[in-house]
Amino acid sequence: MQLQINGQATQINATTLDELISELELPRESLVVEHNSQIVRQQQWAQTRLSQDDVLELLSFVGGG
């Protein structure tokens, strides 16, 4: 299925946010996910189904001084 991830059309196999994070090998600890303009808590990733043409913003925060 095709999604828009951070402004880029992306072909994925995942059907949930949790599967997508694994497929993209992203760090879960510092990741914030916006799915169709709604922030999704990490506890909800496994229950959040993805659909063709969904829009996602994936943000990783890096600490430092």
> Does 63 have pLDDT greater than 80?
no
What is the SS3 assignment for 46?
helix
**pTM of the full structure:** 0.89
What pLDDT is stored for residue 65 in this prediction? 63
Q: What percent of the chain has pLDDT over 90?
A: 86
Report phi then psi at 28, rounded to 5: -70, -30
Quote the CA–CA distance of 58 and 7 in Å, as a whole number: 10
DSSP letter string over 24-44?
TT--STTEEEEETTEEE-GGG
Residue 37 banded pLDDT, cuts 50, 70, 90: very high
